[in-house]
Amino acid sequence: MSIVEQSRQDDVLILTIQNPPVNAFGVGVPEGLHAGLDVAASDDSIRAVVIIGGGRTFVAGADIRTFDLPREQTPDLRGTVDRLDRFEKPTVAAIHGTALGGGLELALACSYRVAVPDAQLGLPEVKLGVLPGAGGTQRLPRVVGVQRALEMMLSGTPVRADEAAQLGLVDQLVQGDLLTGAVQFAREHADARPLPRVSERQAEGGSPEVFAAARAGLQKTHRGQLSPGFIVDLAEMAATQPFEQGWDAEARLFMQAKDSPQSRGLRHIFFAEREAGKIPGLGKDTPQTEIRTAGIIGAGTMGGGIAMNFLNVGIPVTIVETSQEALDRGLSVVRRNYENTAKKGRMTMEDVERRMALLTPTLNMEDLKDADIIIEAVFENMDVKKDIFTRLDGIAKPGAILATNTSTLDVNEIASVTSRPESVIGLHFFSPANVMRLLEIVRADKTSQTVLATSMALARRIKKVGVVVGVCDGFVGNRMVHRYGDEARKLVEEGARPQDADAAMHALGLPMGPFEMSDMAGLDVGYLIRQHQAKVAGAPKPDGWLDRIVEQGRKGQKTQAGIYDYPDGRKPVPAASTDELLSTYRQEKGLTPREVTQEEATKRLVYSLVNEGAQILDEGIAQRASDIDVIYVYGYGFPAYRGGPMQYADEQGLQNVAADLERYGQTPAPLLKRLAEEGKTFSSYDRERTRG
Ligand code: 3HC
């Protein structure tokens, strides 16, 4: 079967693009379209051409997998678009599913666009660190106006066809069968001359103020990123220059953006996110349990946040607490969160009530007997969790999934107190659980395939990115963050100020550095763990500088004082008391402070993550390096345009990473050392293992 099928309905030639799953503009598509256009050009009985997607969608974009191919091997989207723009007979793009990126650019070069009302049209290139590279930056402003085009190109968010019709982006909505409607439309416009060409139109609304505001806005929304600035420059060209100039500039800037580490990082995360959903040995036909109702134990911050995920997608939740007071407090927090969303206009009060009506509070654990999944979200204490699971074992119906939201504890040990360890799994949500997209899915030794497959599907249903990890202290994310925290503390002992370490991470694009994060999480948590561990090991009482801060009663943001001061309750301000404490501490310990450069701080902090990540990968706790990146981007705010810590290390070169680790007194993990010696990358390691 050809990638572009030709068929005829009398005087209309139909070109159907068949490149599953999403009809990406890949190898074979331009050839097929050109062949079709050749036929249409040479046959006088053909009066118009309809271009349509076979299967579930119109063209969802250029084929991202071809971006790293040599230029001559990349499918010639621009050439095809250019030919369509000049074509002498009417061309009609018939859109269903998604017309994204190169797909919308193809449609914009046609004479007309028709679509089913729920089709989605957009230019999401910015999300891949590139820009519309086949005329989109020049044509979209000429159709929908500069302001709207900027919004669409900078957010990457598509619009539904019915809205697109109001914007003039779609010429006609088709209510019934798309092809029938498109052919009829094509016939009605077969004799239209001159043909409408977007490239000949003017872009409206491009005042200097609009561009100045757009550039200023980028500081907030896309700080440090390359392609959004290019998009604004190109939209300005669309408004002020002849089409050809903008078209040429677009080609140049597209290549520059595409070849940047930022675009490689974003493309890496695009595929990594999809890859994370694939579990070796877990077939697509693995039976799943139907999740109709959920139970949650604990109505604290985590429990309430977790409940919201289920309520948002219409799954009723029964939430259990030990006291009426705790239950009331938990429910009022959930309600307040929803009401705040409603105040911002992102949901109606009816939506709030509909969600709250799905939430049943109870003090009786027996009320969970009919739940299809039960998630325990109480505080981190093994004895308490074991007690809950022992009781759940006697209450839950057979086949119910029993999940723990533990962030560090041994899920095997928790499962061992039940008579059905195959039903037990870890579902580690990240705070705030109703916002953060990551879900670490902790597979214990005896977790069944069904429970795993159901949990993966559930993650998608509640709009999380699920990543499967193995059992170990802290799993993937927190285990790495512990090492990062240790390194941050060391940097300060050696002479850096806490705000220097945090600034190094801001410079990399993280919203928070290690110490701002610790203050937010509460310094007492780590303090208690360190004290407990020392006691168990019979070691002396820990006396690090951070321990001393906690002993001053400064526990972080919640006490308005931690490593930083919080005069307004939220914004960290460097604290004089911390400077004094550090200077006394260093004196007592005989530490001579030295200057730590930002480069050193960045390398030591990020490479501590990478080194632990390599060890985790080697132990099989994470399945792929790219899974670790997904965890850091979706759970810890690592900027997606850096691709996650492992991809960042690949970009630096693993030899350099290993050498720097040694230079700064850390021992490279065996896997990292080996890959560095063999001149490999984490990406190549992932690829080899997938093939193997
Ligand atoms: N190129 C290559 N592969 C693509 C692709 C693309 N543009 N879009 C999707 N795929 C692949 C996915 O990797 C996935 O592969 P897998 O099954 O092997 O994992 C498969 O298609 C299905 O994708 P999803 O799992 O994401 O399917 P959904 O139904 O959930 O979503 C979608 C479909 C909305 C189209 C979503 O895939 C998407 O957003 N794709 C990216 C769209 C995009 O960014 N287009 C612009 C590309 S850049 C461009 O066009 C440059 C031009 O201006 C020059």
Are 255 and 302 found together in one domain? no
pLDDT at 342: 96
Cα 61-646-614 angle, rounded to 5 deg: 140
Q: What is the pLDDT of residues 644-656, one digit of tens each?
A: 999 999 999 999 9
How many helices and strands in the chain, by DSSP H and E?
Answer: 29, 19
How far apart CA 549 and CA 585 sit, in angstroms, is: 11
Inter-residue contact 297 to 375 (CB < 8 Å) = yes
Q: ipTM score of the complex?
A: 0.99
pLDDT at 691: 63
Mean pLDDT for all residues in the chain: 96
Inter-residue contact 106 to 80 (CB < 8 Å) = yes
Q: Give the position, in ligand 1's atom list, of the atom nearest the Cα of 271.
A: 13
Least confident of 46-55, 68-77, 508-517: 68-77
Are 12 and 84 found together in one domain? yes
Q: Which residues pair with 25 in a beta bridge?
A: 62
How far apart CA 308 and CA 319 sit, in angstroms, is: 11
- Percent of the chain residues topping a pLDDT of 90: 92
Assess if residue 579 is contained within a domain: yes
Which residue among 22, 71, 81, 231 has the greatest number of ligand 1 atoms within 8 angstroms of its CB, and so is best to mutate? Answer: 22
Looking at per-residue pLDDT, the higher value among 284 and 681 belongs to: 681
CATH of the domain at 428: 3.40.50.720
Residue 40 pLDDT class (50, 70, 90 cuts): very high
Cβ of 305 closer than 6 Å to ligand 1, yes or no, is no
Are 247 and 313 found together in one domain? no
Å from CA of 286 to ligand 1 middle: 25
Are 440 and 491 found together in one domain? no
Rounded to whole angstroms, the maximal C-alpha distance in the chain is: 93
How far apart CA 612 and CA 625 sit, in angstroms, is: 11
How far apart CA 272 and CA 269 sit, in angstroms, is: 5
Shortest-distance Cα residue to atom 15 of ligand 1: 274
Are 177 and 317 found together in one domain? no
Q: What is the DSSP letter of 7?
A: E
Shortest-distance Cα residue to atom 30 of ligand 1: 274
pLDDT at 532: 83
Cβ of 64 closer than 6 Å to ligand 1, yes or no, is yes
Cβ of 56 closer than 6 Å to ligand 1, yes or no, is no
pLDDT at 692: 53
Tokens linked to 308: 């919201």
Statement: residue 179 has pLDDT above 60: yes
What total number of domains does the chain contain?
3
CATH of the domain at 56: 3.90.226.10
Alpha helices, H only, 358-467: 382-395, 411-416, 449-461
How far apart CA 674 and CA 686 sit, in angstroms, is: 14
Å from CA of 24 to ligand 1 middle: 7
pLDDT at 379: 86
Cβ of 183 closer than 6 Å to ligand 1, yes or no, is no
Provide the whole-model pTM: 0.94
Q: What is the pLDDT of residues 298-333, one digit of tens each?
A: 999 899 999 999 999 999 999 999 999 999 999 999
pLDDT at 651: 97
Q: Which domain covers residue 213, as residue numbers?
A: 4-259
Shortest-distance Cα residue to atom 22 of ligand 1: 21
Q: Give the position, in ligand 1's atom list, of the atom nearest the Cα of 64.
A: 1
Cβ of 98 closer than 6 Å to ligand 1, yes or no, is yes
Cβ of 562 closer than 6 Å to ligand 1, yes or no, is no
How far apart CA 368 and CA 320 sit, in angstroms, is: 8
Are 203 and 246 found together in one domain? yes
Contacts of 306 (CB under 8 A, 6+ apart): 296, 375, 377, 405, 429, 433, 434
Residue whose C-alpha is closest to residue 474's, from 609, 376, 595: 609
pLDDT at 473: 87
Q: Give the domain-ending residue among 589, 619, 638.
A: 589
Å from CA of 188 to ligand 1 middle: 34
Q: Which residues are catalytic?
A: 105, 125
How far apart CA 622 and CA 615 sit, in angstroms, is: 10
3-class DSSP assignment, residue 10: coil
Assess if residue 378 is contained within a domain: yes
Q: What is the pLDDT of residues 255-287, one digit of tens each?
A: 999 999 999 999 999 999 999 999 988 988 999
What burial class does residue 580 get, using C-beta atoms within 10 Å of its C-beta: 0-12 exposed, 13-18 middle, 19+ buried?
exposed
Shortest-distance Cα residue to atom 38 of ligand 1: 60
Å from CA of 22 to ligand 1 middle: 6
Q: Give the domain-ending residue among 422, 437, 469.
A: 469
- Percent of the chain residues topping a pLDDT of 70: 100
Q: To the nearest 10°, the Cα dihedral for 661, 664, 667, 673?
A: 20
Shortest-distance Cα residue to atom 35 of ligand 1: 60
Q: How many CA atoms are closer than 13 Å to the CA of 534, on its beta-carbon side? A: 13
Q: What is the pLDDT of residues 560-585, one digit of tens each?
A: 999 999 999 889 999 999 999 999 99
Cβ of 373 closer than 6 Å to ligand 1, yes or no, is no
Å from CA of 129 to ligand 1 middle: 14
Shortest-distance Cα residue to atom 13 of ligand 1: 271
Q: What is the pLDDT of residues 443-473, one digit of tens each?
A: 999 999 999 999 999 999 999 999 999 999 8
Are 171 and 254 found together in one domain? yes
Are 486 and 461 found together in one domain? no
Residue whose C-alpha is closest to residue 238's, from 279, 205, 273, 267: 205
Å from CA of 60 to ligand 1 middle: 6
Are 314 and 251 found together in one domain? no
Q: What is the pLDDT of residues 340-372, one digit of tens each?
A: 999 999 999 999 999 999 999 999 999 999 999
How far apart CA 365 and CA 418 sit, in angstroms, is: 16
Which residue among 64, 160, 463, 686 has the greatest number of ligand 1 atoms within 8 angstroms of its CB, and so is best to mutate? Answer: 64
Least confident of 133-142, 276-285, 475-484, 524-533: 524-533
Q: What is the pLDDT of residues 617-627, one digit of tens each?
A: 999 999 999 99
Cβ of 100 closer than 6 Å to ligand 1, yes or no, is yes
